[in-house]
């Protein structure tokens, strides 16, 4: 089931907001109504829940299901990554390992299972999901450059990015990206 999928997307946004506020040097705790410590504590708890609820890790969502490995899952994860970067130095080794597991699982799935759908008509063009998929692949390599499938991820990311937005002139474009012509 995916009943927890959409709420988890929201959790990703809330986590990022709390993380960024907690690390903002200009934070006014009175205006926010929470202390920096409370924001950080809640952010870390949210991130732990998000990561453990992924299919690659040991927990689950509140409804007993797991999330991830879908055409839309990178959207939520990309929306939270600036929050991960903001509090990186406060993440436990377990959280970093769970993050790594999640990103590798997503990258494996998007490399092996997610097709690049691109064209000029609506049915054959999925620009947003192509870009989200490319982002998660690139993000994985950026954050964990030692990943075993680095070249596979970058190759598929280039294909997704190249097909993020298809326009008529692409059919004639001889530009080369990672050894392949755009056309």
Going by pLDDT thresholds of 50, 70 and 90, the confidence category of residue 3 is low
Dump pLDDT digits (tens) for 54-64: 999 988 877 88
Whether pLDDT at 182 is above 60: yes
* Distances from the Cα of 41 to the Cα of 37, 57, 126, 182, angstroms: 6, 21, 37, 46
Gap between the Cα atoms of 148 and 154, Å rounded: 12
Secondary structure (3-state) at 156: helix
Residue 5 pLDDT: 65
pLDDT in tens, 80-136: 999 999 999 999 999 999 999 999 999 999 999 999 988 777 677 788 899 999 999
How far, in Å, CA of 51 to CA of 177, rounded?
A: 33
What is the predicted pLDDT for the residue at 151? Answer: 97
In the chain, the percentage of residues whose pLDDT exceeds 70 is 96
170/174: higher pLDDT:
174
pTM value is: 0.91
Q: Is the pLDDT of residue 2 over 60?
A: no
Between the alpha carbon of residue 43 and those of residues 2, 124, 165, the distances in Å are 23, 39, 34
Average per-residue pLDDT for the chain: 91
């Amino acid at each position: 089931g995916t009943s927890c999928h959409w709420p988890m997307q929201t959790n990703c946004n809330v986590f990022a907001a709390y993380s960024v506020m907690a690390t903002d040097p200009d934070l006014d705790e009175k205006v926010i109504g929470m202390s920096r410590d409370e924001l950080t504590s809640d952010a870390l708890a949210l991130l732990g829940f998000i990561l453990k609820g992924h299919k690659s890790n040991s927990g689950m969502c509140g409804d007993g299901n797991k999330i991830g490995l879908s055409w839309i899952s990178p959207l939520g994860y990309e929306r939270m990554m600036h929050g991960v970067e903001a509090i990186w130095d406060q993440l436990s080794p377990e959280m970093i390992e769970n993050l790594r597991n999640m990103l590798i699982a997503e990258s494996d799935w998007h490399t092996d299972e997610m097709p690049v759908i691109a064209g000029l008509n609506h049915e054959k063009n999925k620009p947003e999901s192509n870009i989200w998929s490319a982002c998660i692949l690139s993000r994985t390599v950026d954050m964990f450059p030692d990943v075993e499938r680095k070249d596979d991820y970058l190759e598929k990311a280039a294909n997704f990015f190249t097909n993020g937005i298809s326009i008529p002139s692409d059919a004639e474009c001889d530009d080369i990206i990672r050894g392949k012509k755009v056309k």
